[in-house]
A and B are shown apart, each in its own frame.
Chain A
Amino acid sequence: MAHLELTGLCKAYGAICIADRMSLSVPEAQVLGIIGPNGAGKSSLFNMISGDVQPDAGTISISGRDTTGLPSRRLAKLGVGRTYQIPRPFGGMTVFENLLVAARFAGGLGASDARKKCGEVLEATELSHLTDETAGGLRLLDRKRLELSRALVTDPELLLLDEIAGGLTDAECISLVAFIGELNKAGITILWIEHVLHALIEVAHRVIAVNAGQILADGSAEDVMASKDVREIYLGSAEALA
């Protein structure tokens, strides 16, 4: 059974089409890379999967269960974790509290288990030095790390990552890729929207390219990058593939 199944998904914002009868099946424990130009509707696709936004038509199912129309808080409890492209920290709370609230609610953990879990995740995402800092004062890269950490404390089975590698140094990028690989080895299905293609290619088992509500190409990273449609969209940015 597929972990995530989209069938005939449609969504439009006025004249802007985000999904046009889009269908997609993601097996368990796959790392699916998602590429496409800005404004293609990638983040909006995540919004629909995570329940932040409801599709106009079509169905979404997770592990065989129809989750279309469920609010994000229900999906969070059903094992969907996500990061936002533009981070959404709880600005007036500390980094630790940001994680704690996610672990207590979406994670369903009791007080002491939640604290333990948050400590472990902060260690793993290298944020422990900022534990008691106010989240609103973090710089962008740390905010992105916080997004990832907050998603991880809920023990997600399906993880949606929206452009988390931008702005990282090469060394940081390598360790992020290794980290995502480890998460995947632990059995987490990962959908990763990323413009930093060399990082994405390292871990993605499969890549899809989307534009104007359509999936233009679907296959191995090499095949998708080689496809004519994709090259046309990334017109002039072919060097990004190198």
Chain B
Amino acid sequence: MSIDLKMTVSGCIRVLVAVTAIASLPFVLATANIRLGTEILILLNLAMLWNLLAGYAGLVSVGQQAFVGLGAYATWMALVWFGFPFWIAVAAGALAAGLAASAFAPFLFRLQGATFAIGTWVMAEISLLVIANTSAVGGGAGVSVPARIAREIAPDRAGRESAIFWTALMVALVVLLSSYLLMRSRWGLALTAMRDEPTASEAVGINTRQVAVSIFLAVAVLTGAVGGLILLAKLRITPDSAFSLFDWTAYTIFIVVIGGIGRLEGPIIGTAVFFTLRVLLADFGPVYLIILGVLGIAVMLFAPKGIWGAVQTRTAFSALPVNWPFRSIAIQPNLKIPAEETKQ
């Protein structure tokens, strides 16, 4: 147990140091860079959530933009129609996405594998069409947050960008911590078992449908919150931007795949690589996308476990260990031997 505990404590300290450092960034950065930070956190959140779904539970969704969009629109309604404070509005976005997910789940979970993926895409298209045809939320033209309400978040621009950055950071922490705790619990074992072998999972007592639906709903709720963050960051959304397959799902999948799918560290590495490339290749226009594509394919071919997977196999290092090492506990009897020897 002691080795286990040490790993947990040192992991916590690492995370704490990192969080404190990141949280103090708005005090030193220019407003434009705070914005970039928020954007990074938003994609990191989406990547962590998609990784939980596809990497750990084996539920490959290409329709998560449904929950981003619905979360963004619900947040807008809570802000503008009901005048809620912005963080309650984000919670409303999360709730709305969760409700939508529970409405879609009975249909989606009749499908498996590739058809499940197609089902999620259909789900996103339906959500987009419903919003685009609802005139109360601006139809195809979209909606924006009035300046009056934006000022309620914080009176000046820098203050607002900082507030949104910290909210995004909070969501990232919630996602990271809950993923970590989940993966350390028996439900984490159930998720990976279900991903690897559904039939055998049932045979060892797991209700695979219940596990799959639960993770799908939980991920949808948090994805809805990220949708709320996106609204706050942009202040103006249209159906096409809020439900963008490209921005909220394709980039996310790229990030997870190159970082390392099925590993908590994967999305973090992937996000770092993605934004580094974006900055480096900013002047190349469309060539940038081609390079991303080529890189994605190269990683899939030569390092199928992603960058982090490749690092791990070479060094056996894990910053956020969620596996259940046996030796640390089982060899306890051996740990007692020196004590007996000193007695003699």
Interface residues of A (CB under 8 A from B): 50, 52, 71-73, 76-77, 82, 84, 88-94, 96-98, 100-102, 104-108, 111, 115, 118-119, 122, 131-132, 136, 150, 154
Would you give 17 A-B contacts (Cβ < 8 Å), ordered by A? A52-B199, A52-B203, A72-B199, A72-B202, A77-B205, A82-B203, A88-B203, A90-B197, A91-B196, A94-B324, A96-B325, A97-B192, A97-B323, A98-B193, A100-B324, A101-B186, A132-B325
Q: How far is the CA of A151 from the CA of B192 in the complex (A)?
A: 18
Tell me which residues across on chain A come within 8 A of B329, comparing CB atoms: 115, 119
Partner of B189, one of A73, A89, A104: A104
User: How far apart are the CA atoms of A119 and B326 in the complex, in Å?
Assistant: 8
In this complex, what residue of A is CB-closest to B58? A92
Asked whether B189 lies within 8 Å of A97 as measured between CB atoms, the reply is: yes
Q: Is B204 an interface residue (CB 8 A)?
A: yes
Most buried by A among B201, B202, B327, B329: B202
**Contact status B192-A92, CB under 8 Å:** yes
Q: Is the CB of B326 within 8 A of A94?
A: yes
Residues from chain B with Cβ under 8 Å of A52 in the complex: 199, 202-203
Would you call B202 and A101 a contact (CB within 8 A)?
A: no
Is B23 an interface residue, CB under 8 A from the partner? no
- A82 to B195: give the CA distance in the assembly, Å: 20
Which of B196, B199, B204 is the one whose CB lies under 8 Å from A106?
B204
Are B203 and A132 in contact (CB-based, < 8 A)?
A: no
Complex Cα gap A88–B199 (Å): 8
Contacting pair A92 B330 (CB below 8 A):
no
Q: Is the CB–CB distance between B203 and A101 below 8 Å? A: no
Complex CA–CA separation, A150 to B201 (angstroms): 11
Check: B206 CB closer than 8 A to any chain A CB.
yes
Smallest CB-CB separation from A147: which chain B residue?
B200
CB <8 Å contact, B197 and A91? yes
| Given A92-B262, A106-B204, residue A101 in contact with residue B189 (CB < 8 A) | yes
Asked if B205 contacts A102 (CB within 8 A), the reply is: yes
- B207 beta carbon closer than 8 Å to chain A: yes
Given contacts A89-B197, A90-B196, A104-B189, contact A73 B326 (CB under 8 A): no
Cα separation A131 to B329 with both chains bound (whole Å) = 12
Q: A76-B205, A111-B186 are in contact. List 15 more A-B contacts (CB 8 A).
A: A52-B199, A72-B199, A73-B206, A73-B207, A88-B199, A90-B192, A90-B197, A91-B197, A92-B196, A93-B192, A94-B324, A101-B190, A105-B204, A107-B205, A132-B327
CB of A101 within 8 A of CB of B193, answer yes
Q: Is the CB of A76 within 8 A of B203?
A: yes
User: In residues 327-344 of chain B, which contact A (Cβ within 8 Å)?
Assistant: 327, 329-330
Decide if B195 touches A50 in the complex (CB within 8 Å). Answer: no
Interface pair B202/A84, CB less than 8 Å apart:
no
- Nearest 5 pairs of A and B residues by beta carbon: A106-B205, A105-B205, A102-B204, A88-B200, A96-B326
How far apart are the CA atoms of A1 and B191 in the complex, in Å?
38
Enumerate chain B residues within 8 angstroms of A96, measured Cβ to Cβ: 324-326
**Are the C-beta atoms of A131 and B326 separated by less than 8 Å?**
yes
A residues less than 8 Å from B200 (CB atoms): 84, 88-90, 150
- Please name all residues of chain B whose beta carbon is closer than 8 Å to the beta carbon of A84 when the two chains form the complex: 200
Chain B residues with Cβ below 8 Å from A115 are: 324, 326, 329-330
User: A73–B203 contact, CB under 8 A?
Assistant: yes
Q: What B residues does A92 contact at CB under 8 A?
A: 192, 195-196, 262
Given A50-B203, A76-B204, A106-B205; A100-B189 close (CB under 8 Å): yes
Which chain A residues lie closer than 8 Å to B326 at the CB level? 94, 96, 115, 118-119, 122, 131-132
User: Whole-angstrom distance from the CB of B192 to the nearest CB of chain A?
Assistant: 6
Which of chain A's residues has its CB closest to B331's CB? A119
Query: Across the interface, which residues of B come within 8 angstroms of A105, CB to CB?
Result: 186, 190, 204-206
In the complex, what residues of B have CB within 8 A of residue A136's CB?
196
| Residues of B300-344 contacting chain A, CB below 8 A | 323-327, 329-330
CB nearest neighbor in A for B195:
A92
Q: Which residue of A100, A102, A122 has the most chain B CB atoms within 10 A of its CB atom?
A: A102
